[in-house]
């Protein structure tokens, strides 16, 4: 199961990178999101899986594809001036990010516990658990995020609507 | 069940799972295909016509035209399978499946009868057992994926009417999903759980305790949003045959078109099942506290068929909205209504009800 979902995720991500057609690339990205949702289910976190599908595949990607369809060109445009250094820089940065992520995960408490106690399936995360954690441990972060989203929304309306 | 499982060299759990999947999916498929006929007969009844009643086996046996389904199916199979020259062939082929699979998958979490115990095993009558942690989030997630069928079909046909239909449908879908989710969140709050079986159990068997009474506003919002989600008239902006030819399925013919149409009806069945589960007590039988399993299944199927009929009824009663009216209704009416519903229930719970 893990292999299937991991393959879906990886192939989706690769397809998104290599595909010249923006719409097809977007659909590959949806496939990658679906694979990630499957991985969340395997990690006993069905809530995150559902939210992944609802928010990313169900709303954000639909809107992105909507905007792309609204624009006439569906093919990636070639750059007018090539900047090969950009490509190498981005590969380097991506590699650095990957290396940093892997070292962080390997050094984390969870992995050490896993090595000591072996892999036992944790109880599945429930929506009630997520809500309680948000409002007990992270009220400030939650409220700040809400405020920022509100500000972003007001800003978007103010930018697009000329005469309010 | 145990003897059957041992005969097939499977564990009882696996055998039961297979049986459930076969029952649920074949039932939804059959209902969906019957509904293509019900729609035409229903529209004929509403418009004072007769509708398809001539199809017959051997030219003799006609059961009020029900063989029309068979005739249609056979005809669709033998039609030439065309794809437009400039279409994106791979996606053009994929789109009907992308539409069809989520429409069927959404049903998996809905309990269609009460659980029962036999031979020491508890058998749950839903494909995914309760307590899977996904609960009602699952149909919402799958419903969000359903738009890709329309979107991919629209874009891959390389036809401007099709793209217009797909774009309108995706915009409508995203706007109505918010109101729908908020009305479902209010249900989670009053139930204290988000598993469909918990929601059904909390509603009890008395009709005035079903969620439709305390959550009447939420029900209105959810019901309206289901029309937008399933792309049914008065919100069928993906198709809009009087404006954009046939919308997203303009270029589709033969079995591919048939699959798209079936997907719409399968989606309709899932939507009616959701309405019945969330607001009308699911498999609960009115005034019967402990119904038998068969009675509970009958009750659920009756509710489902009733709401599926309401979908047909409304389609042939109301005219299509204009696009700006749709957006107006979605953002300025449905969203505030579901907010009011949510805040009202939060206030009521804070008062200790």
Nearest to B167 among A51, A70, A127 (CB): A70
Kindly list the residues from chain A whose CB atom is less than 8 angstroms away from the CB atom of residue B152: 27
- Share the mean pLDDT of chain A: 83
Q: Is residue B19 part of a domain?
A: no
How many CA atoms lie less than 13 Å away from B91 in the CB half-sphere? 22
Work out how many domains chain B is built from and give that number.
1
Range of the domain at B315: 82-350
**Share of residues in chain B with pLDDT > 90 (%):** 1
> Taking residues A35-56, what's their average pLDDT?
86
Q: Is residue B75 part of a domain?
A: no
Nearest to A125 among B133, B155, B193 (CB): B133
pLDDT at A74: 62
Minimal Cα distance from A62: which residue of B?
B170
Q: Is residue B300 part of a domain?
A: yes
DSSP B267: H
Q: Contact, B182 vs B343, CB < 8 A?
A: no
B217: confidence class by pLDDT, cuts 50, 70, 90: confident
Q: Is residue B115 part of a domain?
A: yes
**For residue B40, what are the CA distances in angstroms to B73, B77, B248, B263, B264?**
15, 20, 21, 17, 15
**For residue A124, what are the CA distances in angstroms to B7, B87, B108, B335?**
34, 44, 19, 32
Per-residue pLDDT at B55 exceeds 90: no
pLDDT at B2: 63
CATH architecture, range A1-75: Up-down Bundle (1.20)
Q: Which tops the pLDDT comparison, A143 or B108? A: A143
**Alpha-carbon distance B128 to B108, whole Å?**
6
pLDDT per residue as tens digits for the range B161-193: 888 888 888 888 888 888 888 888 888 888 888
pLDDT at B1: 62
**For residue B129, what are the CA distances in angstroms to A121, B163, B295?**
18, 39, 20
Tokens for A139?
């009220």
**Alpha-carbon distance B326 to B321, whole Å?**
6
Per-residue pLDDT at B251 exceeds 90: no
Q: Is residue B296 part of a domain?
A: yes
Per-residue pLDDT at B97 exceeds 80: yes
CB contact under 8 A, A124 and B133: yes
A75: confidence class by pLDDT, cuts 50, 70, 90: low
Q: Contact, B311 vs B227, CB < 8 A?
A: yes
Q: Which tops the pLDDT comparison, B27 or A115? A: B27
| Mutate which: A45, A65, A121, vs B, most B CBs within 10 A | A65
- Residue B123, beta-bridge partner list: B116
A60: confidence class by pLDDT, cuts 50, 70, 90: confident
B291: confidence class by pLDDT, cuts 50, 70, 90: confident
Q: Which residue has the tokens 């599945």?
A: A124
CB contact under 8 A, A54 and B140: yes
Per-residue pLDDT at B269 exceeds 70: yes
pLDDT at B153: 84
CB contact under 8 A, B145 and A57: yes
Per-residue pLDDT at A152 exceeds 90: yes
Q: How many CB pairs under 8 A join A and B?
A: 83
pLDDT at A149: 93
CB contact under 8 A, A69 and B155: yes
pLDDT at B201: 84
Question: Helix (H, G, I), strand (E, B), or coil: what is residue B117?
Answer: strand
CB contact under 8 A, A49 and B134: yes
pLDDT at A147: 95
Separation in Å, CA of A46 to nearest CA in chain B:
5
Nearest to A58 among B132, B138, B141 (CB): B141
Q: Is residue B25 part of a domain?
A: no
Per-residue pLDDT at B329 exceeds 80: yes
B104: confidence class by pLDDT, cuts 50, 70, 90: confident
Per-residue pLDDT at B318 exceeds 80: yes
pLDDT at A151: 95
CB contact under 8 A, B173 and A51: no
Tokens for B279?
């607001």
pLDDT at A92: 92
Q: Which residues lie closer than 8 Å to A54 by C-beta, 6 or more apart?
A: B137, B140, B141, B144, B177, B181
pLDDT at A98: 92
pLDDT at B44: 87
- Share the mean pLDDT of chain B: 82
B5: confidence class by pLDDT, cuts 50, 70, 90: low
Separation in Å, CA of B164 to nearest CA in chain A:
9
Per-residue pLDDT at B214 exceeds 80: yes
Nearest to A57 among B88, B138, B144 (CB): B144
Chain B residues with CB under 8 Å of a chain A CB are 88, 91, 132-135, 137-138, 140-145, 147-148, 151-152, 155, 163, 166-167, 170-171, 173-174, 177, 181, 188, 193-194
Q: Contact, B47 vs B126, CB < 8 A?
A: no
Closest among A122, A127, A133 to A46, alpha carbons compared: A127
> Taking residues A39-64, what's their average pLDDT?
85
Interface confidence (ipTM) of the complex:
0.78
Domain ranges of chain A: 1-75, 126-164
Q: Which tops the pLDDT comparison, B177 or B8? A: B177
Q: Is residue B54 part of a domain?
A: no
Kindly list the residues from chain A whose CB atom is less than 8 angstroms away from the CB atom of residue B147: 58, 62
Nearest to B194 among A63, A124, A127 (CB): A127
Kindly list the residues from chain B whose CB atom is less than 8 angstroms away from the CB atom of residue A41: 134
pLDDT at B353: 66
Q: Which residues lie closer than 8 Å to A40 by C-beta, 6 or more apart?
A: A46, A48, A49, A52
pLDDT at A119: 66
pLDDT at A118: 65
Nearest to A69 among B134, B167, B188 (CB): B167
């Amino acid at each position: 199961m893990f292999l299937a979902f991991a393959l879906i995720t990886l192939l989706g991500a690769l397809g998104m990178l290599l595909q010249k057609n923006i719409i097809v690339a977007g659909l590959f990205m949806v496939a990658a999101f679906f694979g990630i949702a499957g991985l969340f289910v395997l990690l006993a976190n069905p809530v995150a899986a559902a939210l992944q599908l609802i928010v990313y595949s169900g709303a954000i990607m639909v809107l992105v594809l909507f905007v792309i369809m609204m624009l006439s060109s569906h093919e990636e445009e070639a750059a007018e001036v090539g900047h090969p250094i950009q490509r190498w820089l981005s590969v380097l940065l991506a590699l650095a990010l990957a290396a940093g992520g892997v070292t962080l995960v390997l050094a984390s408490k969870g992995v050490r516990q896993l090595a000591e106690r072996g892999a036992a399936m944790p109880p599945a995360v429930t929506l009630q658990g997520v809500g309680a954690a948000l409002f007990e441990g992270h009220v400030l972060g939650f409220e700040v995020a809400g405020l920022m989203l509100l500000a972003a929304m007001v800003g978007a309306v103010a930018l697009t609507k000329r005469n309010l | 069940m145990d003897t059957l499982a041992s005969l097939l060299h499977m564990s009882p759990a696996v055998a039961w799972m297979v049986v459930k999947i076969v029952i649920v999916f074949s039932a939804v498929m059959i209902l969906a295909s019957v509904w293509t006929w019900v729609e035409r007969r229903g529209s004929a009844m509403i418009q004072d016509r007769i509708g398809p009643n001539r199809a017959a086996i051997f030219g003799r046996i006609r059961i009020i035209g029900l063989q029309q389904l068979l005739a249609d199916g056979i005809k669709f199979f033998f039609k030439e399978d065309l794809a437009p020259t400039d279409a994106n062939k791979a996606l053009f082929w994929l789109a009907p499946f992308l539409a069809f699979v989520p429409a069927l998958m959404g049903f998996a979490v809905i309990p269609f009868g009460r659980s029962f115990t036999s031979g020491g095993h508890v058998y749950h009558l839903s494909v995914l057992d309760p307590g899977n942690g996904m609960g009602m989030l699952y149909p919402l997630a799958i419903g969000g994926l359903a738009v890709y069928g329309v979107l991919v079909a629209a874009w891959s046909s390389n036809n401007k009417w099709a793209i217009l239909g797909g774009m309108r449908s995706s915009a409508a879908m995203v706007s109505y999903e918010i109101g729908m989710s908020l009305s479902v969140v209010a249900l989670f709050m009053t139930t204290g759980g988000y598993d469909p079986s918990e929601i059904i159990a909390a509603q009890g068997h008395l009709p005035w305790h079903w969620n439709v009474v305390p959550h009447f506003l939420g029900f209105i919002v959810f019901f309206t949003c289901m029309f937008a989600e399933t792309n049914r008239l008065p919100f069928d902006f993906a198709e809009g045959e009087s404006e954009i030819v046939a919308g997203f399925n303009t270029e589709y013919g033969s079995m591919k078109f048939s699959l798209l149409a079936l997907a719409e009806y399968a989606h309709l069945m899932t939507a009616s099942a959701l309405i019945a589960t969330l607001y009308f007590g699911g498999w609960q039988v009115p005034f019967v506290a402990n119904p038998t399993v068969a009675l509970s299944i009958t009750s659920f199927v009756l509710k489902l068929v009733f709401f599926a009929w309401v979908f047909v009824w409304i389609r042939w009663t109301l005219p299509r909205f204009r696009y700006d009216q749709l957006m107006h209704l979605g953002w300025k009416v449905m969203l505030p209504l579901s907010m009011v519903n949510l805040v009202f229930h939060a206030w009521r719970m804070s008062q200790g009800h």
